[in-house]
Structures are given as C-alpha cells and as structure tokens.
Structure 1
Amino acid sequence: MFASLAVPNYRIYFTGMTVSNMGQWMARTAQSWLVLTVLTDHSATALGTVTALQFLPTLFLMPIAGKLADRFPKRRILMLAQLVGLIDAAVLSTLVITGVAELWHVYLIATIDGVGSSFDSPARQSFVSEVVSGRQLSNAISLNSASFNMTRLLGPGLAGVLIAIIGTGPVIAVNTVSFAAMIICLALLKTRDLATPARAKDGGSIHEGLRYVRRRPDLMVLLAIGFAVGGLGFNFQISNAVMTTGIFHRGSDAFGLLDSIMGVGALAAALWSAARHGPRIRHMIISMAAYTVLGLVAAFSTNYWVFALLQAPIGLATITALVTGNTLLQSHTSASMRGRVLSLWMLMITGITPVVSPVVGHLGDWLGPRATVMFGVVCVGISTVIITWVIMHTDSLRLRFASHRRGWWYLERRRVTDEITMPVK
C-alpha cells in the first residue's frame, strides 16, 4: 500500500504536500466561514462568487499551464505557484486580523490564488511521474489522493474548532507556513534522482494535445466522467455551508465536521485505490450511481447527524471516481502529452466551477439550501445514464453486462491505432 514511500525523493515530496494540503484545507474552511458569517449575512451567492472567482482563471490558463508543464521544469513551476499562494495567504490573513477585510478583498485574492492554482495543478499532477516511475506510479497517485483526503479529514474540523477560539484570521495565517513548507521540500529534492521528463516534440502545442485526446475515445470517456463528478457534482463547500446554517442552524464546528466526515470516506477511497491491483472504468460508473442515490437521501435529510454521516459514503464515491480517472489518465497517456492531458482533466474538474458555483449559490438563495445538494445529484445522475449509453454505442468501446463475471459490469475496448491498451475489465 505504501510502496512508493520507499523512494527518498517521494517521501520528501509527500511530506511537503501533506503539510501544504493541511494548511489549505484549514484556510479554505476559514475563508468560507469568513464570507458566510462575517462579511455577509449568510449569503450563499457571495460564497458561490468567491468559489467561482477562485476557479475562473482555470478556464483561460489551464491549457497554457499544461503546455508549459510539458516544456519547462515542473519543479520550478510548482515553486513559483506555491510562492503566489504564500503571498495570497499572508495578505488575506493580515487584512482579517487587522479588521479591515472587505468582501472585495476576498474576491480579488481568490482570483489571484486561482491564477497560481491554474499553473500548479497540471505541473503537480504530472511531476509525480518524475519522482516515481513504473509500477510505483499508480501507488504514488493514490497516496497523493490519500494525503489530500487525510488532511481534508483533519483540516476542516481543526479549523472549525480554532475559528471558535482564535478567529478566522489566524487560521488563514497557518496557510502561509504550509506553503513555505512545500517550497522548502521542493528545494530539498535531489535532482539527480528525478526522472528526465520527455520533452514535447511539437513544442507543447495545445492543438496537438487536443488532437491526441480526440483520437482516444477512452480518454474522452474519462474526461467526461471527471466533468460530471468534479465539475458538476463537487460543490460541497457551498452546499454543506448553507445546509449547516440554513437547515440545521449550527455553527462553524458543525460545518467543519461535515468536511471531516466526508474526508473519512475520501481517505478510505484513496487508500483502497493504493491497495487494489489496478483501476477500472467500471469503478467510476458505479461510484457515480452511488453518489446519485446517497446525495438524494442527503438532500432530504431533516436531521444533522443523518446528513453528516452520509458525507462519508458520498466522499468514498466521489474520490473513487476521481482517483480512478486520474490514475488511468496518467498511466495510459504518452509522457510527452501528460501535462496537456492532465490540464484538460483539471479543466473538466474545476474549469466549470466559475459557472456552476454562482448558479448553485443563487439556487440556495432562491429555492433554499436543499436545492444546492439536488443540483449535484441531478447532474451526476443524468450524466451517469448518458455516459453509460455513449460507451455502449461507441465502436471502440463496449460496456457489457454479464452476471457470471466478477463485478458484473465491464468495459470491452477494441484496439484502435495509436492507442495504449487500458485495463478496464
């Protein structure tokens, strides 16, 4: 389960990433609470706008960021992106602590933070293949997700408690230290032990990256699933916040606990991904169906603890789909194209957020908090049916049902020129 931690460089990288993730989850929870309860009177629209602005740069910069990740040293890109995040966290925490923070400050800082994240994401995702290689790559990708979700388990809950004790400003300030830790760990990596990245022969052409994906129906299926689950269904920062305050009438500790409980399921999904023999597309389809059913129950919950406990299996389903997709993309994409393909993956997951978040926020203000949960349920449910139908009617892909097979659903993939065989059964 922890095979990739035997690589010294990966241990350093994993440590820095875990500290950075912890700080970011704490700061994200504090920022949401700041907007919802301090800077506004429980405005779901304002919270949705902050989330939208944070991801707006992704729409324009992610393809360029993927191109740069295929052309330039990824470690340097990561260090610069972390520096931008450090400065953002320092400025926002100072504004909050001194009592001069206004909503437009958060809007501006969220946008700048989004610029840094746009360049960070494809470089971070594809850099793993330089730190570890071969069989350990899949394990490392799963452990990266485990780190992300372990800190998601601990960070929001800790942030909720600390907000009640010391306020939002000092909690956001913790993020400056976490960014600094990541920069130090990146600097400590031994360059001689890093794999030499394959440079793009086409100069990192964005058009060539799109053409590569169009020739790969299997990759297009993965990107579509990422769009459905990550882009349309992953709105928990908004839905959990407004459900906590609007339906259950609870405070910051209860809000933080929801993220932590979801992190339990998400962490279980990541560890299972690290331990299993290999990822399969059917795991993603089943996870989408499970998300739909569980989300429907959560949307109509009248008891806080029922809603809270449902977050664990919802987290399990969501992260199983996303980790499986990430692993399949990285494992079955040409090294010279990996940065651009992963930038498309991140675009599918986060690029639509600037459009979705304000819609979800307005739905919460217009129809009530439960509508914010139902949005994701309806979108993922419809997407599950459409994607399954497309797979079953695509010449190079076939989704079959066979009760005598383990798992029942399996994907039969025909050989297509220039494609890499993907284990999907």
Structure 2
Amino acid sequence: MKLTLTHTFQSLTVRNFRLFAAGQLVSVAGTWMMVVAQDWLVLSLTGDSGTALGVVTALQFAPLLLLTLYAGGLADRYDKRRLLTAANLASGILALALAVLVLADGVQLWHIYLFALGLGTVNAIEVPTRMSFVSELVGADLLPNASALSAAYFNTARVVGPATAGLLISWFGTGPVMLLNAASYLATVAALRLMRPAELHRTGSRPQRARVMDGIRHMATRPDLLLPMILVAVVGMLGFNFQLTLPLLAKTVFHADAAAFGLLSTALAAGSLIAAFATTLRRGRPPLGLVIAAAAGFGIFQTLSGLAPTYLAAAVLLFCTGFGSIYFAQAANHRIQLGTDPAYRGRVMALYTLVFQGTTPLGALLVGALSESLGARAGLLLGGAASVLVAVVVLCLHLRGIRGDPRPPPRRTAPATAKNAVPDDKATH
C-alpha cells in the first residue's frame, strides 16, 4: 500500500511541480466556479435558452480552433513559464471586468459573449503551452505520473468548484463568484514566479522556426497516432459538452436550483477524479485497444445518463460518465504523447488540443440547437451514441490495418534542422 501511494504521488516530490499543481488547483477551482455562475447567468438572462448557452460555449472555444496550432509553435519557440504568466494575468483581467459588470447590475448577454471570446483567445495560447510545460517540470520519466496527477488536481477542482459555486450563487448571486474566479488566477501566477528556472528540464536550444505543417505531416504518417486522434476529435466535439448539457438537464428536466445543479456537476467531477487517480499507476504507453474500449465505455454511460429517470439516477450515472471521460482522455493522451517524437511534441499536442477542444464550437452549436428542439436529454444521447459509433469505426480501421500489415509502424526520427529543439511532452486534464 505504501509503495502504491509513493508511485501515485511521485511527481509531487519535484518542487516546481508541487508549486504548479497548487497554483492550478486554486485557479481551476475558480474557473469551474465561473463556469457554473456564467451558465446560470446566461440561462437567467435568456429564459433557459439552450441556443444562447451553445453560442457562449462556441465563442469560448472558437479561438482554439483558429489559433491553437500557431500557439503550439509559440510553445516550442519561447519560454513557456513567461507565456503562462502572461496568459493567466490576461485571464484574470478579463474575469475581473465581467465580475464588475455583474456586480454593478449592468451585464448584458453580449458582454458574456465578448468575455467568452476573449477568454477563449487567451486559452488558445495557454492550453498547449501548459500541456507541454509539464515535461519541463518533471522530465520524461515522470511524465505519465505527472499527466495523471494533473488530471487529478483538475478534477479535484471540478468537485470543489461547482459545489461551492452552487451554494455561493444561492446565497450571494453570480457576481461574487465571478470575482473569486478573477482572484484565483493570481495563485498560478505566484506559483510560476516562485519556481526555480535552473531546475526545469530544458535541453538544447529552441528552434527559430517551428512550422505547423511539419507537425501535421508527422501525424499523418503515423497511423498509431492518427487513429486515437480520430477518437479524440469525435468524442471531444460531441461527447464533451457537459458545460452545455448539464445545466439544461438540471434546470429543464429535473427543475433543480443552482445548488442541485452544482451537485450534478460535482458527481461528474468525482467520477473523473477517481479515474485520474487510477491512471497515476499507469506505466508506459497504453495499447490502442484500451483507448477504443474507453471511448465506447464513456459513450455507453453518457447515453444512460441521458435516459436517467430521476435526479438521483442521473447523479450516479454522471459519476460513471465522469470516470469514463477522464479514463478515455488520459488513455488517448498517453497513447499520442508517448508515441510522438520529441522534436514534434509541442505541435502534436497543439493538434491534440485543436481536435479535442477546438472542435467544441461546432459540437456546442449542434448540441445546443438539438437540446432546444428535442429537449436536454437529446444532447447527452447524441454525444453518447457518437462516441460508441466512432469507437466501432476506429476498431474496424485498426483491425484492417493489422491484417494488412502486421508490423508496427516505423518510428520517424527528427529532421536535422530540428535536432536542437526543446523536447516537449505534455500532461493534460
């Protein structure tokens, strides 16, 4: 038991990672409080409009679709610690501006749209930079463990944030919750500035040019990376729309208040947290079959959540859905990043972010419109069915590839022009 715990929390023996994880825990908890407050405010302003909620989600994720690949090049070329400091300061300023509008009772729907777009633009740079920065904190040997622990603190924040936000909204309204979110970004900034740069795992010099197309070509020539990326694209676009589907399910199906909505979000996050801790014990690169099975399992539980007859049944099934979501995300993450040549990792992880989160605007608009037309359950049913279907399709492609060529795909070496690039790994939530 003691040995298991030692392996589970091994990355926390690294001072820089401890600081990073502590700052992220506070900041991400604030972000999830903001998600609940923002969604509740949108529904209050629009009379429970699923379309309006879909537009907010789409605006927040649209910049990821447009800018993430470019941001991956920035992460390969520039100091990630400085990029992350600037991004968190910018996010804090944006959150503070919206909080002031809400507290002054002057907020309108277009203000929320503008905030979502601004925050999405910052996130387009912050997300791939943060993902690739974790390898500099812990090194390649501890990367799988650090990746899983990153998911653990992220989902700990998802447990604490929505539940706390639901209570605070009931007591004080959405404005103070948004103000707390603005202050929470300072925790990450402080953690970044307290790190010891000399202890970061940086090797070689950064490339003067990190072309996006080189990363795309690398991905296209590697079926072992391309197939899990297809899973990530479809599941991310249609299955990971809980920011949209959960408030609609809580308010329009079960007629719950803000506190009960927060508890549904907490149930989803609690399952995710258990999955994150379970994956801390993983060593090495998971097989593609595990990634496919995880996608199918997630889809089945999400479908059942959409069919849940009662609030309690929905909470239990959302717990299982949360477990499946993170287990799939971590399996796909490790499959892709641990199979990618170091010279391309920054750009490949940007591509991963693009297909996982950048496709969310398309999914959010579709799921939002469908939920408004057919009811809140329809969004969950669509995401679950699509996840199961793509798992079956990828399994067929994988089996066809095995029959056509039983040899493992060749590993490509970095071109001579990139041999001095900083090797970037990633740990994501």
TM-score category by the smaller chain? over 0.9
1:59 aligns with 2:65: yes
**Contact 1:396-1:413 within 8 A present in 2 as well:** no
Cα displacement (A) at 1:197 = 4.6
The aligned residue for residue 313 of structure 1 is: 320
- Equivalent of 1:384 in 387, 391, 413: 391
CA displacement 1:168-223 (0-9 Å, x = unmatched)? 01001111111111011101110000111555657100111111111211111221
Cα displacement (A) at 1:276 = 3.0
Q: Structure 1 residues 103, 395: CA separation in 2 closer, same or farther (over 3 Å shift)?
A: same
- Equivalent of 1:10 in 14, 17, 37: 17
Alignment of 1:217-228 (within 5 A): 217-228=223-234
For 1:126 and 1:116, locate their aligned partners in 2 and report how far apart those are by CA, in whole Å: 16
For 2:114 and 2:413, locate their aligned partners in 1 and report how far apart those are by CA, in whole Å: 43
- Equivalent of 1:216 in 222, 235, 243: 222
Alignment of 1:248-287 (within 5 A): 248-280=254-286, 281-287=288-294
1:156 aligns with 2:159: no
Q: Structure 1 residues 235, 114: CA separation in 2 closer, same or farther (over 3 Å shift)?
A: same
**Which deviates more from structure 2 when the two are superposed, residues 186-195 or residues 268-277?**
268-277
| Amino acid in the other structure paired with 1:95 | L
Q: Structure 1 residues 198, 283: CA separation in 2 closer, same or farther (over 3 Å shift)?
A: farther
The aligned residue for residue 344 of structure 2 is: 337
The aligned residue for residue 373 of structure 1 is: 380
CA displacement 1:142-167 (0-9 Å, x = unmatched)? 10010111111111011001100011
Cα displacement (A) at 1:251 = 0.8
Q: Structure 1 residues 79, 380: CA separation in 2 closer, same or farther (over 3 Å shift)?
A: same
CA RMSD of aligned residues (A): 1.7
For 1:170 and 1:279, locate their aligned partners in 2 and report how far apart those are by CA, in whole Å: 44
Cα displacement (A) at 1:331 = 2.4
**Contact 2:77-2:208 within 8 A present in 1 as well:** no
The aligned residue for residue 414 of structure 1 is: 408
Identity of aligned residues (%): 36
The structure showing larger relative contact order (alpha-carbon pairs under 8 Å, at least 6 residues apart) is 2
Cα displacement (A) at 1:413 = 6.0
For 2:407 and 2:297, locate their aligned partners in 1 and report how far apart those are by CA, in whole Å: 24
**Contact 1:93-1:170 within 8 A present in 2 as well:** yes
**Contact 2:128-2:350 within 8 A present in 1 as well:** yes
- Equivalent of 1:125 in 114, 122, 131: 131
Cα displacement (A) at 1:227 = 1.1
1:303 aligns with 2:316: no
For 1:32 and 1:104, locate their aligned partners in 2 and report how far apart those are by CA, in whole Å: 14
1:362 aligns with 2:369: yes
The aligned residue for residue 241 of structure 2 is: 235
What is the TM-score when the length of structure 1 is the normalising length?
0.92
**Contact 2:145-2:282 within 8 A present in 1 as well:** no
For 1:161 and 1:56, locate their aligned partners in 2 and report how far apart those are by CA, in whole Å: 30
Cα displacement (A) at 1:228 = 2.2
- Equivalent of 2:181 in 161, 175, 179: 175
What is the TM-score when the length of structure 2 is the normalising length?
0.91
Cα displacement (A) at 1:288 = 1.6
Q: Structure 1 residues 198, 18: CA separation in 2 closer, same or farther (over 3 Å shift)?
A: farther
**Contact 2:62-2:360 within 8 A present in 1 as well:** yes
Q: Structure 1 residues 220, 396: CA separation in 2 closer, same or farther (over 3 Å shift)?
A: farther
Cα displacement (A) at 1:345 = 0.5
| Amino acid in the other structure paired with 2:229 | L
- Equivalent of 2:116 in 76, 99, 110: 110
| Amino acid in the other structure paired with 2:212 | I
- Equivalent of 1:80 in 86, 95, 104: 86
| Amino acid in the other structure paired with 1:40 | T
The aligned residue for residue 90 of structure 1 is: 96
